[in-house]
Amino acid sequence: MDDRTYTADAEPGDHVTVAGWVHEVRDLGGIAFLILRDKSGKIQVKFEKDEMPEELVETGLGVHRESVISVTGDVEEEERAPTGVEMLPESVDVLNEADAELPLDPSGKVDADLSTRLDNRTLDLRKKEVQAIFEIRAEILRAVREYFRSIGSTEINTPKIVATGTEGGTELFPITYFGEEAFMNQSPQLFKQLMVGSGLERVFEVGPIFRAEEHNTPRHLNEATMIDFESAFIDHEGAMDVCEGTLKAAYEAVEENCADELELLGYDDFGVPEGDFPRLTYEEAIERINATGELDEQLVYGDDLSTEAERALGDDVGGHYFITDWPSEIKPFYIQDYEDDPDTSKGFDLMHPRMELVSGGQREHRYDALVEGFRQQGLDPDQFDYYTKMFKYGMPPHSGWAYGVERLVMTMLGLENIREAVLFPRDRQRLSP
Ligand code: ATP
Ligand code: AMO
């Protein structure tokens, strides 16, 4: 592809061209070192002022930090060099000189706040420990796709410009679509359900969702990535099995394939969650939360769980767990209720001790009950005709769920802020870069 050698592959005795960024220049007088950095690592380039052409030394040592250069020369063993080898340059090409003043120090010697880092994400991502987050994110998505394929699930892509919301009207971003009102999609929910009624039966999607969340929090984004799963002929218990399997597959892959990245992030005890995740009913969950005595006010049946309540329960359980059997009225119209207990739904959440990771459930597949569900939530079923009518032509019983990718990365790596798990986060204050 290209004829440069990665710094990590440069062996003593080789004659190579390496290319990358000027990490550091150290001038000790008669001798000077330039540290060149590329994706694979770093290499020391030695300049001996009395023995090398003046022009070469001037070019090599005059270049600003973070400039892009390529260096050609011999590689030699050198015990005192940081990596045990160094290069003796024959030529140095400055491919693009960087400004002398940088808005962010990629060597990490000078701390920067998150906002400065996000404003200069390109420079921020020159730090190995920041890169590590995105290598791990990529590995999670690879592993999850492999897991889905292993259980016979087909990857789909559904529209992101849509006519209706699904997860509550207030969080929609409206747009104009050739003079008509349209919205950015909040969730692939209705489309993935339509696909279980197609010949595909079992599907997944990794894609963006858009939500006009009112507040700035460390765990909400206005554009997030979701891993959605939906399958015909499984109930909510079966969906939880797949949900748990997906999480474990992601953790196992990271443990197996991202040792270097985990080390950079300071993990020496990264563990794959073990055992079956507890499945608490909503009723058990609120009893347990009340029993912790952590809340100022006791929860009563029907309350949604506040952040404090989630934390109290998370501390009490101490690992991942499901909350099942939510009151029907706090779950969306597409979740099915128990036949013998219509006030209780087959919806569930997967929780990490710090926050919610997944919502899911068994879906209402019976046309009449579905349309009634719309009415009960104050939605006009006619607006959703494109969706509901397919329930008249052979829609199987089905279940599914969705993970927020950034929350998965954040909780797996113990990140303080969800923005650290996205390249270019969108929040109330941030529309660029
Ligand atoms: P999702 O939005 O996907 O449902 P979530 O973690 O926000 O995930 P919710 O059930 O909506 O789950 O909210 C749980 C709690 O989190 C709420 O009771 C509230 O205390 C807090 N919370 C949710 N959204 C916000 C927000 N935008 N700003 C501040 N706090 C919020
Ligand atoms: P829900 O709205 O709970 O469910 O979203 C599923 C998961 O997506 C993540 N998530 C977010 N992450 C960051 N910022 C946000 N603003 C944000 N909103 C959601 C969370 C959450 O648990 N259609 C259902 C899923 C289903 O039933 O299949 C849905 O969208 O991790």
Give 59-85 as a DSSP string. HHHHSPTT-EEEEEEEEEE-TTSTTSE
pLDDT class for 169, splitting at 50, 70, 90? low
d(CA 64, CA 412): 37
With a cut of 80, say whether residue 220 has pLDDT above it: yes
Banded pLDDT at 168 (limits 50, 70, 90): low
pLDDT in tens, 265-304: 999 889 999 999 999 999 999 999 999 999 999 999 999 9
Annotated binding site: 167, 211-213, 219-221, 356, 359, 363, 404-407
Q: What's the gap in Å between 253 CA and the centre of ligand 2?
A: 23
350 token code pair: 């997967």
Q: What are phi and psi of 67, to 5 degrees?
A: -70, 155
Ligand 1 site-directed mutation target among 217, 227, 282, 351, most atoms within 8 Å of CB: 217
**Residues 93-112, buried b or exposed e (16+ Cβ, 10 A)?**
ebeeebeeeeebbbeeeeeb
Identity at 63, one-letter amino acid code? V
Interatomic CA distance for residues 203 and 317, integer angstroms: 32
Half-sphere exposure of 90 (CA within 13 A, CB side): 8
Q: Are strands 347-352 and 321-324 parallel, antiparallel or unpaired?
A: antiparallel
Model pLDDT for residues 170-215, shown as the tens digit of each residue? 789 999 999 999 999 999 999 999 999 999 999 999 999 999 988 8
* DSSP codes, 250-263: HHHHHHHH-HHHHH
Examine the pLDDT at 372 and tell me if it is beyond 80.
yes
Give mean pLDDT, residues 112-122. Answer: 97
What proportion of the chain, given as a percentage, has pLDDT over 70?
99
Residue 98's pLDDT is: 98
Mutation to probe ligand 1, out of 189, 210, 220 (largest number of atoms < 8 A from CB):
220
Residue 138, helix vs strand vs coil: helix
Is the C-beta atom of 235 inside 6 A of ligand 1? no
Amino acid letter, 76: E
Signed CA dihedral, 26, 27, 31, 36: sign only: positive
Pocket lining: 224 vs ligand 2, CB cutoff 6 Å: yes
2 confidence band (pLDDT: 50, 70, 90): confident
What would the pLDDT profile of 376-433 be if each residue is shown by its tens digit? 988 889 999 999 999 999 999 999 999 999 999 999 999 999 999 999 999 999 999 9
Residues at the binding site for L-aspartate are 167, 211, 359, 363
Q: How far is the CA of 412 from the centre of ligand 1 (A)?
A: 20
Cα–Cα distance list, 92 to 47, 75, 87, 222 (Å): 11, 15, 11, 45
Residue 244: C-alpha distances to residues 136, 256, 282, 321, 415 (Å):
19, 18, 18, 9, 21
Compute the mean pLDDT over every residue in the chain, rounded to the nearest whole number: 96
Q: Determine contact, residues 418/429, Cβ cutoff 8 Å.
A: no
DSSP-derived pairing of the beta strands 154-155 and 202-210: parallel
For atom 20 of ligand 1, the residue with the nearest CA is 306
Residue 355 CA, closest ligand 1 atom number: 6
Is 308 close to ligand 1, i.e. is its CB under 6 Å away?
A: no
Check if 42 has its Cβ closer than 6 Å to any atom of ligand 2.
no
Please report the pLDDT score of residue 335 as a whole number. Answer: 97
